Structure 1
């Protein structure tokens, strides 16, 4: 927020012919509400059903460009009094690993039981540049019920639901998701609704820059610091949009869920409370056994690719050069990881995230729901792994600081090469899929339960195909939506239940009457709600097993 006085800002508003509704819900001569945040001014746009206003593309920090690259986010000090109608969308620079080109076709073939048809014609060229991509990308979207501005009396102190997108910390944005279907759930049965927010945060090289030996000013977890900054911005400003700063729920899937885990475990759980009260972690994907040495290797990869001696030198490169390096280094990642990502930095992360979760080094004031899907590992599976040597090599690449003895234990004791039917797999690919699903996702959910003394609530999304991210379609279901992989219609009954517990949790937590209570407390018995075709079943968590004990304890022993 600007440190200029209100008088100076009022003068600037008068000079620009703007309404002087500083800090409030404001008005507008055109009928659309205006919210003045001092440094910026924003006009809402009414949705097609006239139920909520969208205040999109609100900057929550200074642009992290030029000398601000690779550093912690800074407060928004630059003043721009032009009314922002939210129509110009920006997203952070994107990248994808090349292994997606192998794993995704294998996943689709496994789900459908049919080989993909051979390509016809010449291979497609690279996609055209996305005009939305910019290093200046620290923006958020706010969707707030119409009654906050139009009702009499005006609605206020509404619950706040914040979405943190996934994408492996390499891709994705706040604009990937249309939240209209979820928002509409908040208005059912005469309910007043809630305030929905989606946020951008820096990704890849820009959000998780490696650090050379003398790069003391580089924030290697800048993307997570962006999230923290945005969440604190929400605490400070959401009342201007009708939200209650003391009733914030965050939810996210995959990297979004592990982002939330990171916020819960930030600073070793010893730097005050997290800037939210409730959290929903959907499939928290975390690279296991990540220590400082792992990111030292990423620095060497980047240093070689960029031909630089320090990140101070890299900071002087052009946006085009840095985006190319981002794509190159992220694209070359070995199977099941992305090179850039959360790392032990001795500041935000004093220890490996999964280990911090399991050992309870978290903010325990937050009410938590955590779950995962039945077939998480399929997206990350390399079908070329067909023997024990390749199996061990993949995990050695995934966890380069792990000793050969631990890798051997993983391959011989935890996931033995036994296809007799005595194990939960009968082929090499099934073995790898299970090991990656548990190591990257399922056991992180288990670790979270342990860290919260088994007082979390739990689910297992087990609707076919139950692959990684399959539940997102239900979280944001809109009438007539189809599954993004199979093309089959999503079940509206399941969607009503799924969106119901999410919104009830945001509004009421686990109070009596909230459908979130249908998700059981985990307890020492390891109870979870298995969401399945034909009806939900209360049962035991499959991740509460000896294999997950290896991932949360034995790997680090």
Structure 2
């Protein structure tokens, strides 16, 4: 079985690496055309290509190095002078693979962590930067809406390098709805989301979220100089970025103000909403912290956190990457993710949503139909229901009773015709429990949790509109179906110029302008009803769309909802 899966897993790993690598650097000739913007800290010189101005790598915080490693971001107040922003900007240190575990992934982990590879991919600890893209000719008087992008990557990898908003900006211009596109770089992996009692006591938790928040504050201070309107900001993210979007809504109990003004007025979440999580000082969190400390050679230090801060870069990077990663047997039982700390996130996000402790703004939220397939490629030893139960119990929820996991699994039809990728009959069963595991992981982390989230927010804020969707445009893709992150190609980049790309981008740009995806869309695009009206999803296919009742797998949804206080990652 392992030999059968090896080519598939290898392809998935290589695809993940390729997706995480930075976009190609522009040639010298392409970068000779420049534009400039003057902000309070200096003059930014950007590049111009295909009608879009690009300003990359703009620092917004002091380098989080030395004593500032594993500390909340410190605002950059020094002058930038004349700053070269013609490039893409750096990536923060990445966790592509764990440096521990099976031979293949550990070798890849150490190889990718080498200084040579990091240099090639422009990774550096000094990475807290912004990227701004706008239509050519935009002036400080333009007052354009602002689309603020938060990248995904399992809170382990990603950067603004990966996401060129040029095609989106150009699409906005072609629709007569120009806008400014902004993306924020934030710390990932152990650099941004390390947990443990030492972290909690030091006030060093959820650093990646604080980086994002400071990026939003930077927009308020500076985006007018780029021609953006700071009062018309919509935050948008995919996967971990979508989870971050709600976290930004829920930060500090829902306080999204800065200098007396709202940081954003709308939200778009692609494949992610709330993840019920254990607190920063939980047992598994401490295990991860202790592992990092041990691998960094800090176990005997009187102050282990100070030791981590003083460790050389390579030692600390390899130590943080020694725990299980998302591209591993542990899958989405993430080592690093936002966790309640009583201050930044005052409670687990699902509780904050149910209590109305979040900034209630109009929102779009939805999923890929087969969210779980990508995360179920690494468990080919699961051949029976008992093995599936034991895997979920021991890897995800070891602190609860096994019977609670049995109850969850029992809500899923054991037939391979019922699992994910959905509606594919007996096909795609690469190992006996693959399709059922894919359905469970996809539902618990994304699809059915989204429905529970919408029900919670509707109950506490019934007058705040929301729209929801299910993407099925990659139906028929072998093994993966319409898999997690496939919307990056289809929606973000519009690689396939089909109905789905056109419709979704049009909905999003209309939402950016009016907080309603229907206002201003062309007559050949279907009207999208609010979710509260009949609890319907807009289901997207390559050539059309239809409305779908959001009631599938109801027994599983009800079980997940009823046990949300137990199912904590």
TM above 0.5: yes
Change (3 A) 1:422 1:342: closer
| DSSP-derived class of the 1:87 partner | coil
- Among residues 384, 389, 393, which one is paired with 1:387 in the alignment? 384
* Contact 1:289-1:402 at 8 Å conserved across structures: no
Rounded to whole Å, the distance in 1 between the matches of 2:289 and 2:111 is 27
- Equivalent position of 2:498 in the other structure: 492
Shift of 1:46: 1.5
Rounded to whole Å, the distance in 1 between the matches of 2:542 and 2:72 is 45
- Equivalent position of 1:45 in the other structure: 47
Query: What are the within-5 Å matches in structure 2 for residues 41-120 of structure 1?
Result: 41-47=43-49, 49=50, 51-87=51-87, 89-97=89-97
Give yes or no for the alignment of 1:447 onto 2:447.
Answer: no
> Alpha carbon RMSD of aligned pairs, Å?
3.2
- Equivalent position of 1:18 in the other structure: none
Rounded to whole Å, the distance in 2 between the matches of 1:161 and 1:421 is 38
Give yes or no for the alignment of 1:277 onto 2:265.
Answer: yes
Query: What are the within-5 Å matches in structure 2 for residues 385-534 of structure 1?
Result: 385-396=382-393, 397-412=395-410, 414-415=411-412, 417=414, 428-453=433-458, 455-464=465-474, 465-477=481-493, 481=495, 490-510=496-516, 513-515=519-521, 518-523=527-532, 525-534=534-543
Give yes or no for the alignment of 1:536 onto 2:541.
Answer: no
* Contact 1:61-1:74 at 8 Å conserved across structures: yes
Shift of 1:204: 0.5
* Contact 2:101-2:324 at 8 Å conserved across structures: no
Rounded to whole Å, the distance in 2 between the matches of 1:443 and 1:267 is 26
Shift of 1:32: 4.6
| DSSP-derived class of the 1:556 partner | coil
Structure 1 stretch 133-142 or stretch 468-477: which is displaced more?
468-477
Shift of 1:235: 1.4
Deviation digits for residues 426-469 of structure 1 (CA, Å, limit 9, x no counterpart): 85221111100001111232133123216410111011231001
Rounded to whole Å, the distance in 2 between the matches of 1:270 and 1:441 is 25
* Contact 2:42-2:83 at 8 Å conserved across structures: yes
Change (3 A) 1:166 1:101: farther
Shift of 1:505: 1.1
Shift of 1:317: 0.3
Deviation digits for residues 260-295 of structure 1 (CA, Å, limit 9, x no counterpart): 011112223357586211111000076544334142
Give yes or no for the alignment of 1:374 onto 2:369.
Answer: yes
* Contact 2:413-2:419 at 8 Å conserved across structures: no
Structure 1 stretch 423-432 or stretch 517-526: which is displaced more?
423-432
* Contact 1:255-1:286 at 8 Å conserved across structures: no
Structure 1 stretch 396-405 or stretch 452-461: which is displaced more?
396-405
* Contact 1:42-1:55 at 8 Å conserved across structures: yes
Change (3 A) 1:45 1:510: same
Rounded to whole Å, the distance in 2 between the matches of 1:456 and 1:345 is 28
| DSSP-derived class of the 1:187 partner | helix
- Among residues 235, 238, 253, which one is paired with 2:223 in the alignment? 238
Change (3 A) 1:162 1:419: closer
- The structure having more radius of gyration, on CA atoms, is 1
Rounded to whole Å, the distance in 1 between the matches of 2:165 and 2:437 is 35
Shift of 1:495: 1.7
Change (3 A) 1:473 1:358: farther
Deviation digits for residues 85-137 of structure 1 (CA, Å, limit 9, x no counterpart): 333621100013459999xx9xxxxxxxxxxxxxxxx9999355131111100
Rounded to whole Å, the distance in 2 between the matches of 1:236 and 1:429 is 49
TM-score (structure 1 length as normaliser) = 0.80
Change (3 A) 1:270 1:185: closer
Gaps of at least 5 residues in structure 2 are 1-31, 427-431, 475-480
Rounded to whole Å, the distance in 2 between the matches of 1:89 and 1:98 is 25
- Equivalent position of 1:170 in the other structure: 156
Change (3 A) 1:384 1:361: farther
* Contact 1:59-1:139 at 8 Å conserved across structures: yes
Deviation digits for residues 393-414 of structure 1 (CA, Å, limit 9, x no counterpart): 32221234434342232233x3
Rounded to whole Å, the distance in 2 between the matches of 1:341 and 1:420 is 33
